[in-house]
Every structure is written in C-alpha cells, then in structure tokens.
Structure 1
Amino acid sequence: MTTAPIAPTDRDDSRRDYADVVRALGTLAVVMIHVAGGGVALFDTGGDRAAWWVYNVADSACRWAVPVFVMLSGALLLDPAKTHEGTGRFYRKRLARIAPPLFFWSAFYLWLRWFLPGHIPFPATPEQALKTFLFANPYYHLYFLFVMITVYVFTPALRRITGSSDTATVRGYAFVALLFACGDTLVRSRYAFPSNVFAMGVPYLGYFLLGYSLRNGATMNRTRWLCGVGLVASVAVTAIGTAWTMSHWHGAMRQYLYNFFSPTACVMAVCVFALLAGATYTSPIARTLRPVTRLLSDTSFGVYLVHPLLLLLAQRQGFGAERMAWWLYLPGVTACVLVASIVLTRLFQATRVTRPLVG
C-alpha cells in the first residue's frame, strides 16, 4: 500500500473551477449590465433603434448575474457540514469581510456624488443622508452589500433547514420564497414602493436556498438541453418584453423585466446556475482559460465595488453610448472598464491595509 498523497480528481478540480467560472462570468455580466444600461437609457431620445436593440439584448442576457452570485453563496455556505463552525464565529468572519468595504465605499461614493455633481444627487441634509442609508442607496450598486448582510444573518438558521431536509424539500422552500419575492417586486414596481435596508435582502433568500439545492447542477443531457432552451427563451422574452413595456408603461414598470425577481430573470438565473454547476471543466480549452477565470474570480468582489467609478470616469471623458457606435462602445468600454477594475483591485489587494476594502 502506498503512502503517497492522493491527487485531487478531475471532478474535485471541476468543483473549484465551477465556482471560479460563476464568479468570472458573473463579474463580466455585471459590468456589461451597467455599460449597456447607458445605451438602453437612450430609448426616449429617438436615436438609432437598431443600436438600442443591441444594448437591450445585451442587458437582458446578463440579468442572471446578481442572482447567480447569491446562489453560489448558498451552494457554498449552506453545506450542513459547516454547522460545526458555530454561529458566533461565522458572524465574526462575515462581519470582518463585509464591514470595511461597506463603510469605506459608501463614504467614497457619497463623496463622489458631491465631487461630481449632476449624475446622482448628493444628500444635502442629515435627514437625506440618513434616508440614503436606510434605502441602501449610497450608490446604485452598493445595495448588494446590504443584501449580503441579510443573507449572512439568516445563514446559521438556514443551515439547520438544509441539514434536516432533503434536497427536494429545500428546493420547494426556495421556490415558494421566490414566488413571494416576485409578487413583492411586482407590487413595489407597480406602485413605486421603495425597499429599505431591513427588507432588501429578504427576497434573495429564495435564491440563496435554491443555490444550495442546485449545487450539483444539471448533469443529465436532457436537463442541460432544457436549461439551454429556458435560458434562450428567458433572454428573448426579457428583451422583447422590455421593448414593449418601455413603449407602453411608465415609471419602474417600464423596465420591470430587468428586475432580478421578474419571472424571466428567475428562469434565467436557474438555467445559468444549473448549467455552470453541472459542467465539468477538464477540457483543454477550460484548462487553458483557468488562469483567466481564477484571476476574475479572485478579483470579482473588488471589480464589483470599483467598476462604477471607472465607468463614470470613462463616460465623463466622452466614452458614452450617446457619442460612440454600439460596436465600439459596448465591447470596448466593457473590456477597458473590466481590465482597469482588475488592475485597481490588485493594487488594493497588494497591501495589508487596503486588502480588506475589496474583500
């Protein structure tokens, strides 16, 4: 009998790779949403309608990004085997990870709103500043940090559920939670009811549970085929439906299908996560791309935090959808913002003082 260490199997390596791929593609999708959003916003200007459709399809095709990030957290954090960690230790670890970026980037982006007036109003009074935090809106992307706080608060309790229930039961809980989340979103969009820091993350618990229940992904050919069809169909319905709602509806309902809890976004997120979680990453192409996916994975949180700054600076220098052809703006600005965000994140990660600010 040999005493040599056992090498990890390809499947074990694929499990690490699947999480990296989810983070990498999710990061790219988030940046794409915000870049394409600049073109979608031109709908009422009467500009190039063909270009608008490109932006709309690109935006629609990326609406799975944030839900899938939450689903990945569920797949990784709700493992019943982690119950030995202890609630206090879990909270201390998560607080140490989420508190520094929450306070630093909230303050930074509030300062940015003051320093570069016009793009987002600055809260001019203490009451307005308080409302900014109560509605989780220091800047348009920072709501995600408040969402993750809620998810972390409920994780120890949800671990008990996953530890005492079979996968089908957990999946049932998740679908019921998502159903209520979809209803809540529809009502709030229709009647313009804003969410707040105490309630904002609760709807995402459905995605969180669903990520755990789908952690093994779509492994059968028939299931993968159904997920592929569901993905294409949900993107198409989102894009076509958004074109219609922007022409006929008003207020938040104009872009209702872009919401992460619209029916099409839910289907899209489930299909993407199941496909990525069920895939194996042992092909030559996957091995070749592994350094890239791991770089994006390692910098994903930082890229999420800093990319709106770099996108704003690019647009202030004239690199906006209203001034550039779509074929140059969409891929060019996305690539430049993504690369610059990775570089900036690496600079933050290079020192012990600034590393906690990017997770």
Structure 2
Amino acid sequence: MGRVFFFDLLRCVAAVAVIAIHVIAPYREELNSIPFDQWATAVSVNSLSRWAVPIFIMITGALMLSDKREFDGPYYVKKRLGKVLIPFLFWSVFYAIFSGLTAQGYDADSAKKVLFDLPFEYTYYHLGFFYYFIPLYFVIPFLRVMVQKLDNIALFTIIAIWLLTTYCYLIKYDGIWSTEIWLYSGYLLLGYALYQRVKLTKMNTIIALIIGLSALGTTVYMIISQSVMLGEYTFGRWLSYKTINTVAAAGMLFFVFRHADALLPEKSQAIISFISKYSLGIYLLHPIFLWPMKNYAWHTGHPIWVIPLWIFISGTGALLLSWLLSKSPKTAWLVP
C-alpha cells in the first residue's frame, strides 16, 4: 500500500497535540493559584487534545487491517513489531538515565530505581503509550483475518458493542469489558472501518463533525465545571483514552481529515509528509527539549502564547534531531 496523505496529516497534528498535552502539565494543578483564564485555557487545550494518542492507533488499524497479503509471521515480528519494540527498549533505558537529571543536579539513585522498574512502569511520562500500544501487535493478525470475513453489519455490530463499553468505562461501570487490550483494540477496528467501510460523503462528514465537536465541548465543560465546583483540578475519566467522548473526537478527526487530499496544495503536502516521516521520532524525543521548561519553570506567562512557543521549540528540536539520527544506518533504527 502506497503512502496515504491524510495519514501523514493526522500524524502531524497528533504529534503537535501530544506535545501540547505535555506542555500544559505545569498549569493543571494551579486552579486558584493563577488567573482563572490562564488555568482554563491550559485545561481546555488538554481537554481538546486527548484524541491524539488514539489517532496513532487508528492509523495503525487502518493500514494493517487493510493488508490482504498472506500473513508472514517472521516478517511481521521483524518489520512491524520489532520496528517499535526495539526503539522503545532503547529509549526506555535512555529516559531512565535521563530522569535523574534535575535543576539541582543529577540524582543517580532515583534514575537507578526508575531503570529497575522498567518492566512494570514506564521510565518517562510519554512512554506509557507503548505499554498498551505494543500488545496490540499481538491482536492485529487475528483482527486482520476477522475483518476480511465480516460484512458491514457484523463489523459495525462489534464496533457498537465496543462503543457501549467505552461509555460504561466513562461512567465507571466496570467489568470484564474494562480491560485495556479490549478498549484499545477497538480503535484498530474503528480506524479500519472509517477508512474502508464508511463512504466519504457530505452527510457522513456533517454527522462526524456534530458528534465529535459535541464530545469535545462536553469534555471541556465537564473538566472545568467539576474542578471549579470542587475547588481543585479533577477530571474523573473524561480525559481517558478509553472513553466514548475521546473515541468520538478521534473518530471525527480521522474521518474529516480524509478530505485533506483535495484541500491542501502539493507544496504543503510535501512539508507535511516530511514531518510525518519523523512523527514517531518527534514523539520519542520532544521531552528532551521540554526539560528546561519543566525543571526551571519556564512556563511563566499566559498559556495562549506559552503553549505554542514550547510546541514549536520542542517539536522543531525533536524533528531536527530525528532527521539527523535518520541520516546514519547506525542510528536510523532509533527513530523508525
């Protein structure tokens, strides 16, 4: 399968959104400590960006479940699973060591503890993604066979059941359906279905926009209103990646961005495709460039300009470093 441009665009905007989530972290607990409009701006950006991680899973599902070639186990393990697993292990060790670096000096004991906990806990805040993303590679071969045998009625019935369980998870009605592997696997099926089984019509796009924008607005309202009512930052499960509101927002963006091929000029597409090529590297490396902001509290100011500034600094730095690492065969595997 050749490159699909709207996947490139989705990777770019998702990478920016992930960085935004990490940039706003210092503001979240500052309700009643900073002006309300500053806190609300940061929290709103966080609430409006939770679709970013699910988008990466949906793209994986759309691409891998659409592959109709005969399954090749050794190739899959080496080229698919290994492409993600090996860099993850390297960067987990790197960030365990990096975690000891503070504004006051290097804390070797803390870094050592983080390293020893690697099998059970991610070593840096952004690496948690891989602990639920990598297990999906063991589900994908079975889903790929399944979707090729299911008609639309059967496929959308399964997705509807999954959507119901994401609603149950949101309202804290837990059960066997609340397992991570199930709730994240649904994004694989959703990405495939929205790519292969749902027609790109004006009516479908309008429906997607109404559902997605409503979900985003509800999320922002619930986070701010509940926090103000309690007098402290609280979010329940509204910011989880496994809830119906996040699914709705991710599904909307995935579907609406399918229009991108016809809307953006070729020069813009070339730039976006270049950035997309290094999107995983941007994801892996951007915390290095956010370190000064977090450790020296260089986030003083209104989030409306601080957030874009640090997105640009850390995103650009991570992109350039990814590009440099990719130039040598000895380091290219670090930023696949």
Give the TM-score normalised by the residue count of structure 1: 0.82
What is aligned with 2:309? Answer: 332
What is aligned with 2:25? Answer: 37
What is aligned with 2:243? Answer: 262
Q: Conserved in 2, the CA contact under 8 Å of 1:87 and 1:156?
A: no
Q: Which amino acid aligns with 1:109?
A: Y
Q: Which amino acid aligns with 1:54?
A: T
Task: Select which of 76, 90, 111 maps to 2:97.
Answer: 111
Taking the TM superposition and a 5 Å limit, the aligned residue runs for 1:8-157 are 16-43=4-31, 45-82=32-69, 84-116=70-102, 131-135=117-121, 137-157=122-142
Q: Conserved in 2, the CA contact under 8 Å of 1:302 and 1:341?
A: yes
CA drift at 1:288: 3.0
Provide the C-alpha distance between the structure 2 equivalents of 1:32 and 1:286, rounded to a whole number of angstroms.
26
Provide the C-alpha distance between the structure 1 equivalents of 2:231 and 2:162, rounded to a whole number of angstroms.
28
Q: 2:24 aligns to what SS in structure 1?
A: helix
What is aligned with 1:305? Answer: 284
What is aligned with 2:323? Answer: 346
Q: Conserved in 2, the CA contact under 8 Å of 1:348 and 1:357?
A: yes
Query: Cα–Cα, structure 1 residues 110 and 211, in superposed 2: closer, same or farther, change >3 Å?
Result: same
Task: Select which of 209, 227, 241 maps to 1:228.
Answer: 209
Task: Select which of 260, 273, 279 maps to 2:254.
Answer: 273
Give the TM-score normalised by the residue count of structure 2: 0.87
Provide the C-alpha distance between the structure 2 equivalents of 1:358 and 1:236, rounded to a whole number of angstroms.
35
Q: Conserved in 2, the CA contact under 8 Å of 1:22 and 1:68?
A: yes
Q: Conserved in 1, the CA contact under 8 Å of 2:26 and 2:294?
A: no
What is aligned with 2:271? Answer: 292
Percent identity between the two aligned chains: 21
Query: Cα–Cα, structure 1 residues 222 and 214, in superposed 2: closer, same or farther, change >3 Å?
Result: same
Q: Which amino acid aligns with 2:285?
A: V
Task: Select which of 214, 223, 226 maps to 2:194.
Answer: 214
Structure 1 residues 302-350: Cα deviation after superposition (integer angstroms, max 9, x where no partner): 0000112211223334421xx1222320111111111111111111111
Q: Conserved in 2, the CA contact under 8 Å of 1:174 and 1:207?
A: no
Task: List alignment gaps of at least 5 residues for structure 2.
Answer: none
Structure 1 residues 98-144: Cα deviation after superposition (integer angstroms, max 9, x where no partner): 222111111111112223289xx988598875545324x21121122
What is aligned with 1:243? Answer: 224
Provide the C-alpha distance between the structure 1 equivalents of 2:182 and 2:132, rounded to a whole number of angstroms.
8
Q: 2:262 aligns to what SS in structure 1?
A: coil
Q: 1:219 aligns to what SS in structure 2?
A: coil
Q: Which amino acid aligns with 1:309?
A: I
